[in-house]
Structure 1
């Protein structure tokens, strides 16, 4: 069952990732429609559980909920998990965002909404002048999401990873706190 509500909007709720959510995350990440565009290696449930347990990232489960969003534990039937947003390395360097949504909800604005909520939360919680993110050069949807939120391209790691039969470039993005405030 998803954890406590961290933040809600009219359409989505960000909840803490709990052990019970690992099966959803593992199955979603095994889907080639997600795995290839974000470049994650395939992990079984145990490997993913160990990875999440040993990782100090802030992880948020993106959920659709029936009825009023609550900080209490919702009924399982009332929650639809649709993705995850993570903030990595925030305690010791510039925070880096990672995010994904299940393909069935792509193009409906949930990603922009969830990532925007996490950016707000990150700037509130951490005294950082900027947030970073990365997207592969072929992942137009992810790059478009970042650019629509005010991220600027800061660099490119050429032929960064071998994905789906080809070496792919990784595009690095950054968003300054001051630019985020001006946009909002």
Structure 2
């Protein structure tokens, strides 16, 4: 089942094979991917492998990865990526890890917050989610601001936890429980 969500300005949808070039443009950009180098690739073949994972998950009945393309409605331009991975599951519900990144042209426009709110709402309303968590390099204030705007609570500050270009950086971790999300929706 293909997932498609809409907000005032965005379409958030499962990937299709035609997304390869736009995805590659995003995940091969060193500035965009500075904080998440583990999925950065310089080759189209590497991007194809990343896209293939998303395409296979789209069809899987017991899906554990939800990777979405974010499209600007007014221009039909590819804004970036958002999604989550199921980390844990039991009868109480799932724990999902949220992630996102966008094309530089769309930084500072509120698109990540808008898309993140839609996918968080979807996860809690439709996917038996107990908790959504995420984190970022403590210097990535834009990403942390998104977490705060979503109503997430800071759960940890990990000193010298992330190694990027042979330099250690601090990391912040945020989380949102389903009952906290319900309170925010009132």
TM range (shorter): 0.7 to 0.9
Cα distance in 2, alignment partners of residues 167 and 120 from structure 1: 34
More strand per residue? 2
Q: SS state of the match for residue 175, structure 2?
A: strand
TM-score for the superposition, normalised by structure 2: 0.81
Using the TM superposition, give the Cα deviation of residue 81 of structure 1 relative to its aligned residue in structure 2, in angstroms.
0.3
* 2:13 corresponds to which of 15, 19, 25: 15
**Alpha-carbon distance in structure 2 between the residues aligned to 1:113 and 1:139:** 18
Superposed displacement of residue 168, structure 1: 1.4
Q: Provide, for residues 79-112 of structure 1, a one-character-per-residue CA deviation record: whole Å limited to 9, x for no partner.
A: 2000110111267451000001111111111111
CA distance in 1, matches of 2:76, 2:149: 28
- CA shift, 1:39, in A, is 3.6
Tell me if the contact between 1:159 and 1:169 (Cα under 8 Å) persists in the aligned partners.
yes
Q: 1:35 aligns with which of 28, 33, 36?
A: 33
Given candidates 70, 74, 87, the residue that maps to 1:62 is 70
1:105-120 matches, cutoff 5 A: 105-120=106-121
1:152 and 2:153 correspond: yes
Within a 5 Å distance, the mapping from 1:48-127 to structure 2 comes to 48-54=47-53, 56-66=64-74, 79-89=76-86, 92=89, 93-127=94-128
- Bigger shift: 119-128 or 131-140? 119-128
Give the match for residue 130 of structure 2.
129
**Partner SS state of residue 31, structure 1:** coil
Asked if the contact 2:7–2:115 (Cα under 8 Å) also holds between the matched residues in 1, the reply is: no
> Does the CA-based 8 Å contact 1:90-1:126 persist in structure 2?
no
Question: In the alignment, which residue of structure 1 is the partner of 2:61?
Answer: none
CA shift, 1:123, in A, is 0.7
TM-score by length of 1: 0.82
Contact 1:155–1:173 (CA<8 Å) still a contact in 2?
yes
Corresponding residue SS for 1:37:
coil
Moved more, 122-131 or 40-49: 40-49
